[in-house]
Structure 1
């Protein structure tokens, strides 16, 4: 009976406070992305003859009694910093929730307590908060692609609408230049492979679950063989140019050598007709140049190195005349 008496008392008090014009004005249901910040606009009316001494926000409880765990209590110094009271004790009861989490998926209620217990009041309707998660939907069922294909990635949420919100894209944690709820990738290459995430701009706490995209290399191994082939081709051209220059230089050198050889041969022929003329000593000569004198002319063959086929018979070794 005691329990029923207590409930009846609470019901009577609620009827009386409603009749006295006390009420809480909640916003429409709020949908927020996990990690984002949402604001619950709120206002209340109370009797002018009473003074509000305590305000409380709780969740999933219709009355927010003193024993009920609260997310904000003006009389407490241990409030969770994620819940910030933006109101006052005169008529504004706005609450802000930052870094929205799954446990915030609940109905929140506001309670005001006056110096006269009969004037204390809780808004029973409350405000419903829905927490959603960002996700990536692909134009393809799987994340396996071939080089040259294309794909469109859409950043969306299952329940909340994000069409009016700014969206950022990331690949392997690095921000991409593209923005907006849609990311289109055309002519895929191996460089496009990675884990893609999306989230609200300037708020990495709202990032979606990663979408893994993998681009298969072609049979030639992608762009690396093409680059290697170009390098080899350039080297072959340079080698051919160097080879041609070497051949031309050798031909010119060979022509100069032939000219020099011809000149040397002419010199050798002139050197082969030679020789020393030997006069007899003065004491062996007579008083008259004609009387019994002997003139000897001796030709000495110079020993020059030359080919065997060019060898000639020596031209007389000596000429003798006697008087």
Structure 2
């Protein structure tokens, strides 16, 4: 079965077909309803995200990175990447490049060297919470690939809390309390903190 369509004339355990990076393939037993999960035979087409879930704070900047690879040659022709972009959702089967999305165009930029890709979004808002995917297009007519599933970004307020970890008795009878400032969002890059005592900033 290819793209949910039964492949005519294929009844053996082994199946050979012309490679198609967009096709998903599954198998089943004749006369039975059950079939295997679908797989994509990407032939070294791949997008890898080091982090698949990222939490960030409102107003901050986030970096979403990935790496990708593809066959060096297809049908005896050298493969060249002609276009790369990030997107978050489809509009009538059209993938909208974030740089062309008015909600992002002034806040996003792409960085990275060959086969490395980084999406940077600044001035984050809660509406930026979404799944982001990277796509690249080559000079081959079927050489298009999207890294799916992508990276889920959650944007929220800090929601800070102070955790009293332990008390320490000092030899001079002074009591020291160790306090830890915690956020509900596990940030990729450790932030710096400011402490206040009786409303005054601690030096």
TM-score (norm 2): 0.60
1:27 is aligned, of 35, 44, 50, to 50
Match of 2:183 in 1: 157
- Residue pairs, 1:1-323, within 5 angstroms: 10-12=22-24, 15-16=40-41, 18=42, 20-28=43-51, 29-48=53-72, 49-60=78-89, 67-72=94-99, 80-88=105-113, 90-137=114-161, 156-161=182-187, 164-167=190-193, 179=194, 182-185=195-198
Contact 1:156/1:162 (<8 A) preserved: no
SS of residue matched to 1:117? coil
Q: What residue ranges of structure 1 are gaps of 5+ in the alignment? A: 140-152, 168-178, 186-191, 197-323
CA offsets, 1:7-46, max 9 Å, x none? x994349834x1x201001121211111111111211001
Give the alignment's Cα RMSD to 1 decimal: 3.8
TM-score (norm 1): 0.39
Deviation at 1:91, TM superposition (A): 0.6
Between Structure 1 and Structure 2, the one with more strand by share is 2
Contact 2:57/2:185 (<8 A) preserved: no
- Cα distance change, pair 10–133 in 1 and its aligned pair in 2 (3 A): same
Contact 1:38/1:96 (<8 A) preserved: yes
SS of residue matched to 1:95? strand
Q: Larger relative contact order (C-alpha < 8 A, sep ≥ 6)? A: 2
Q: What residue ranges of structure 2 are gaps of 5+ in the alignment? A: 6-19, 26-38, 73-77, 164-178
Contact 1:110/1:126 (<8 A) preserved: yes
Contact 1:37/1:99 (<8 A) preserved: yes
Match of 2:8 in 1: none
Residue-pair matches, total: 151
